[in-house]
């Protein structure tokens, strides 16, 4: 056995020594070349192509992608340089149950991650990778997460046997020559090995080795499982790097709110998947005529570091948007609709007879002859024509609302953090935490309801601290500790808020219109950041005072505003019990500050009940 798997590095004394496969190193080769050769020895591709990121190469890769029967060129007149890709029907989303963090000690990944021990993982997943690229091309993609000239950016290298992944990585990261030049002979890169394998879900596995800055992903060609720069590197591996190096890697959008006079205030917001992060980041402001405008810096990820000026500075590590298509339309997100008219790769959307993409919510009825995401002629008996998790991959610079600062080398100064979730009953439209420690508690108690019926019945609440449940690469108790500690080190920390666009009235209808009207809430947040804006104290934090929100031009149902701001102590006591059960999973590793905030909130709620 040992001889057969000698490339799995059992000859090394420990898997924590920072080396990767470490087999047959050539002292004349660069660390990148050595690693690529080691990977090739395992996966045995037919040929190896080092990607340079050029336009000529991109055309070749797209042509290669089109050779497969699951890719199509779209209408060149109406969607120039756009493509449709259909993934295997069993491979349409991230697979959290097949995603592992691999470090020696199980306690270090905590109760919210799947764990594999590194030796076991190397053997088990190594078997799946052995010969996995036989007959295929292995592409080597050096890439930068973050603006090419930013000190906050980091390098990665992904090897993959999927041309679709190469084409997507070209949109989502700065890849090729620019990364190769920055990497030069350094070994300071996150290494990602991706192979489609045979796409059998029984042989699918995504493993992270944070101590080696290594990712192995086999058996999936979809999104976050295959574009390794996104969730695997920029969140799971980067969160451990951030903990060790004193910065933050968060599942947050970044936006700039421009006020009359032109000053832009930047905010970063974390919402669980499916709560409208992309729409918020790309919002067309309902208060544009009053001079309030929203600029997009990023829609999913934020890397943040304390700057010499004492503020937290954020970059968007991505160069594109990998957005959910269904529900994206002229009314909900006109900026995205404009961006994705060219140079976009669509995945698992419907296809019209005119070779245009189609999805539910696009704003046009399904045309006769529509083909669904599986390639079948569609009718209503077949369910949605576009898969609910179908996507567009579009270069960020094509977005009409892209911030002029989106590639600023020093990032943008963050003045507010916003947490949120989908809560039908409990959380007010917006509230402000009392301080950083309380704000950390607000983030740690975040949750979102999976469903809420038309009658407003509350769905299942999934606790999703800081929207990082599937993405934190280490024990979440230590992640809360990291938040508390870094807050003490930021001379000018962002203020922390919580929003809920999804509160429903007794009739089950949403109380707040959402979308572009959310700018009214952002405006109040901006005013609070500037120490103005009227606010009322409640047990859970500050909510806007009677005239706090700018509501002119908006028709709310009678009583809706009061209902939107209401804090019901009995509901919050139940909520606290639910989060206590979640926190209990972490045992004594949970920071005492979190328990302390829990206690303080409980006391404030009890006091508020007493007349």
- Count of residues engaged in binding ligand OXD, rule: CB under 6 A: 4
**Whole-number Å distance between alpha carbons of 504 and 425:** 6
- Cβ-based nearer residue to ligand OXD, 273 or 316: 273
Q: Which residue is nearest to Mn ion (CB)?
A: 300
Active site residue 275: yes
What is the 3-state composition of the chain as percent helix, strand, coil, each rounded to the nearest 5?
30, 20, 45
Closest to 437 (Cα-Cα) out of 591, 251, 578? 591
What are 556's two structure tokens?
């709310």
Tally Cβ neighbours within 10 Å of residue 603. Answer: 11
Site string for ligand OXD, 90-129 (x = CB under 6 A): ----x-----------------------------------
* Shortest Å distance, C-beta 350 to Mn ion: 23
The answer to whether residues 374 and 89 touch, using CB atoms and an 8 Å cutoff, is yes
Regarding 224 and contact with ligand OXD (CB under 6 A), the answer is: yes
Regarding 318 and contact with ligand OXD (CB under 6 A), the answer is: no
* Shortest Å distance, C-beta 48 to ligand OXD: 30
- Count of residues engaged in binding Mn ion, rule: CB under 5 A: 1
* Shortest Å distance, C-beta 82 to ligand OXD: 20
Between strands 447-449 and 47-50, the pairing is unpaired
Regarding 91 and contact with Mn ion (CB under 5 A), the answer is: no
Instruction: Name the binder of 224 from ligand OXD, Mn ion, none, CB < 5-8 A by kind.
Output: ligand OXD
Closest to 35 (Cα-Cα) out of 48, 45, 25? 25
- Cβ-based nearer residue to ligand OXD, 249 or 543: 249
Site string for ligand OXD, 260-279 (x = CB under 6 A): -------------x------
Q: Which residue is nearest to ligand OXD (CB)?
A: 273
- Cβ-based nearer residue to ligand OXD, 300 or 356: 300
- Cβ-based nearer residue to Mn ion, 65 or 235: 235
Closest to 130 (Cα-Cα) out of 32, 214, 197, 50? 197
Tally Cβ neighbours within 10 Å of residue 389. Answer: 19
Residue 20, CA atoms < 13 Å, CB-side half-sphere = 23
The answer to whether residues 95 and 204 touch, using CB atoms and an 8 Å cutoff, is yes
Regarding 300 and contact with ligand OXD (CB under 6 A), the answer is: yes
What are 547's two structure tokens?
């005239």
DSSP assignments along 352-389, one per residue = -TTS-EE-TTSSSPPPTT-B-TTSSBP-GGG--SS-TT
Helix H or strand E segment including 293: strand 293-298
* Shortest Å distance, C-beta 230 to ligand OXD: 7
Which is catalytic among the residues 51, 232, 275, 472? 275
* Shortest Å distance, C-beta 270 to ligand OXD: 10
* Shortest Å distance, C-beta 163 to ligand OXD: 21
Q: Name residues contacting Mn ion, limited to 291-310 (CB under 5 A).
A: 300
User: Footprint of Mn ion on this chain (CB under 5 A)?
Assistant: 300
- The set of catalytic residues is 275
Q: Which residues bind ligand OXD (CB under 6 A)?
A: 94, 224, 273, 300
């Amino acid at each position: 056995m040992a001889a057969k798997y000698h490339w799995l590095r059992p000859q090394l004394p420990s898997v924590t020594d920072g080396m990767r496969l470490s087999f047959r190193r050539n002292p004349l080769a660069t660390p990148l070349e050595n690693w690529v050769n080691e990977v090739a020895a395992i996966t045995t591709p037919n040929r190896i192509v080092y990607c340079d990121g050029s336009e000529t190469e991109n055309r070749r890769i797209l042509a290669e992608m089109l050779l497969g029967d699951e890719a199509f060129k779209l209408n060149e007149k109406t969607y120039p340089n756009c493509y449709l890709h259909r993934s295997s029907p069993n491979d349409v989303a991230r697979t959290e149950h097949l995603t592992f963090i691999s470090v020696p000690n199980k306690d270090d990944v905590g109760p919210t991650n799947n764990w594999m021990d590194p030796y076991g993982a190397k053997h088990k997943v190594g078997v799946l990778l052995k010969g996995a690229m036989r007959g295929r091309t292995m592409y080597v993609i050096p890439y930068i997460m973050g603006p090419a000239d930013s000190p906050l950016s980091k390098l990665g290298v992904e090897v993959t046997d999927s041309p679709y992944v190469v084409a997507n990585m070209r949109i989502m990261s700065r890849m090729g020559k620019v990364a190769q030049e920055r990497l030069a002979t350094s070994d300071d890169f996150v290494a990602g090995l991706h192979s489609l394998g045979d796409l059998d879900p029984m042989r699918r596995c995504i493993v992270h080795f944070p101590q080696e800055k290594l990712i192995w992903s086999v058996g999936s060609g979809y999104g976050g499982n295959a574009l390794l720069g996104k969730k695997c590197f920029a969140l799971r591996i980067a969160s451990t790097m951030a903990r060790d190096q004193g910065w933050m890697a968060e599942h947050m959008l970044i936006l700039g709110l421009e006020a009359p006079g032109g000053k832009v205030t930047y905010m970063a917001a974390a919402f669980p998947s499916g709560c409208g992060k992309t729409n918020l980041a790309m919002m067309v402001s309902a208060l544009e005529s009053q001079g309030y405008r929203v600029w997009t810096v990023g829609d999913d990820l934020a890397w943040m570091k304390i700057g010499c000026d004492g503020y937290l500075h954020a970059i968007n590590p991505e160069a594109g948007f990998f957005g959910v298509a269904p529900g994206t339309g002229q009314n909900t997100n006109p900026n995205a609709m404009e961006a994705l008219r060219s140079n976009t790769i669509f995945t698992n959307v419907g296809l019209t007879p005119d070779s245009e993409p189609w999805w539910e919510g696009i704003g046009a009825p399904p045309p006769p002859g529509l083909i669904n995401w599986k390639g079948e002629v569609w009718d209503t008996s077949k369910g949605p024509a576009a898969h609910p998790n179908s996507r567009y991959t579009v270069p960020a610079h094509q977005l009409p609302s892209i911030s002029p600062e989106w590639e600023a080398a020093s990032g943008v100064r963050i003045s507010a953090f916003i947490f949120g979730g989908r809560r039908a009953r409990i959380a007010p439209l917006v509230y402000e935490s009392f301080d950083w420690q309380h704000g950390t508690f607000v983030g740690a108690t975040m949750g979102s309801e999976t469903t809420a019926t038309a009658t407003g019945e509350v769905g299942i609440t999934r606790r999703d601290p800081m929207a990082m449940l599937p993405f934190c690469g280490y024990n979440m108790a230590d992640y809360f500790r990291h938040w508390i500690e870094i807050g003490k080190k930021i001379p000018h920390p962002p203020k922390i808020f919580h929003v809920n666009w999804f509160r429903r009235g007794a009739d089950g209808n949403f109380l707040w219109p959402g979308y572009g009207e959310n700018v009214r809430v952002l405006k109040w947040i901006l005013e609070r950041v500037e120490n103005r804006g009227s606010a009322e104290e409640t047990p859970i934090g500050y909510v806007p005072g009677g005239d706090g929100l700018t509501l002119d031009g908006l028709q709310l149902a009678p009583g809706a505003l009061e209902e939107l701001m209401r804090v019901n102590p009995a509901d919050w006591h139940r909520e606290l019990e639910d989060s206590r059960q979640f926190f209990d999973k972490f045992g004594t590793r949970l920071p005492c500050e979190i328990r302390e905030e829990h206690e303080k909130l409980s006391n404030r709620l009890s006091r508020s009940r007493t007349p």
